[in-house]
Chain A
Amino acid sequence: MNALKPLWLSVALAAALTGVSSISAQAAEYLIDTKGAHAFIQFRVKHLGYSWLYGRFNEFGGTFSYDEAKPDASKISVDIKTTSLDSSHAERDKHLRSKDFLDTDAFPTAKFVSTSYKSTGAKTASLTGDLTLHGVTKPVVIAVEFIGSGSDPWGGFRAGFEGKTTIKGADFGIAMEKKLGPAAAEIELILSVEGVRQGDAAKK
């Protein structure tokens, strides 16, 4: 029991201090909470034009900076392990990782690095950045919605966003249309990230 005491104290102290620091929100670095799986990189593609097929990348990581007072200074960078593609079907995942599509042996990672963030409303923004996928880097514009931010019950501070964009497989050298038909030419990306503000532990 004695051994637990310092831990209990530090958690209480951290919670109290975070409550104070969250009042004056400053431009802060956030680490995307992939550890707790509060972030998702999902895609959807039309199957034959009759339905939506959903998949995701299970392994990725990144950071963003966000200041509610100066949202246009926001930045994000995400690295994605393309081999972690998961569409809940082993044979399809194997096919999607093969040379026919993502060629994950040759291109095991994808990357997104933002170049600008422009607010378009109280909670919406247009995020531009360079997406590297299948060895091709192209600018993409992501429609971002700020979902919310605040203290979490465990002494941290979190902020979350959801972004949506549509890319064409062919733009990244992935023969979606050729292999899967015209309905599969476009890939919708649904990006949901929650970040834990860094440095809060240091303030304790």
Chain B
Amino acid sequence: MPLKNTDKTYGWVAIVMHWVSAIVVLGLFFLGLWMSDLDYYHAWYKTAPDIHRSIGVVLIGFTLLRLLWRSVNIKPTELLDSPGWQLTLARVIHGLLYTWFFFMFVSGYLITTAKGQGLEVFNWFVIPALITGVENMEDTAGGVHLGLACGFMCLVFLHAGAALFHHFVKRDNTLRKMLGQTPK
């Protein structure tokens, strides 16, 4: 498997980054839902949000690296036998997925920092609060963060559904390219 992308398949760096992102996004989503309902005396009540925030920040850094890597690589050739609207839809969803990482990060950051507290990342560094003093910003940002998370899952569903459709119905290389399998 090549390190960098070729016109036929993704390189292993892009593949690893893609699947790590996928696992982390799903993990953050379910961790986020689970931790919001924890009892105050639950052993994870304090730790789970600490981990959720920290991983979220690391993920945004990772995504920047991913976009950087994407920009210095070629894109494997799209399946030009698909209808034009499907190609357009795929591009739009890819664009939205990347954009969503940043919306999620910003809305989450604004919850934590709304009253001036910094966002601590694994006792490693602290992102200071920039915007404070906006009335009830933590509530607004919280609602947005949850809404966006559900939207993210809808996009993931469409994205994964399309990949499975290509793999099992159209039996083409779409998913194989992202699994490191030799193109047919």
Residues of A that sit less than 8 Å from B by CB: 83-84, 86, 88-91, 93-94, 97, 179-181
The number of residues on chain B lying at the interface, defined by a beta carbon within 8 Å of a beta carbon of chain A, is 17
**Would you call the interface of chain A mostly helix, strand, loop, or mixed?**
helix
Q: List 15 interface pairs A-B (beta carbons < 8 Å), by A numbering.
A: A83-B135, A83-B136, A83-B139, A84-B135, A89-B117, A90-B111, A93-B114, A93-B138, A94-B138, A94-B142, A97-B136, A179-B39, A180-B40, A181-B40, A181-B41
B32: CB under 8 A from chain A? no
Q: Which 5 A-B pairs have the closest CB atoms?
A: A90-B114, A90-B138, A90-B115, A94-B138, A94-B142
Q: How far is the CB of A54 from chain B (nearest CB, A)?
A: 14
Q: B residues within 8 A CB of A97?
A: 136, 139
Known contacts A179-B40, A180-B40, A181-B41: A88-B139 contact under CB 8 Å = no
Residues of B that sit less than 8 Å from A by CB: 39-41, 49, 111-117, 135-139, 142
Q: B residues within 8 A CB of A84?
A: 135
Q: How far is the CB of A65 from chain B (nearest CB, A)?
A: 31
Q: A residues within 8 A CB of B114?
A: 90, 93
* Residue among A88, A89, A179 with max Cβ neighbours from chain B (10 Å): A89
Q: A residues within 8 A CB of B135?
A: 83-84
Q: How far is the CB of A120 from chain B (nearest CB, A)?
A: 38
Q: Are A91 and B136 in contact (CB under 8 A)?
A: no
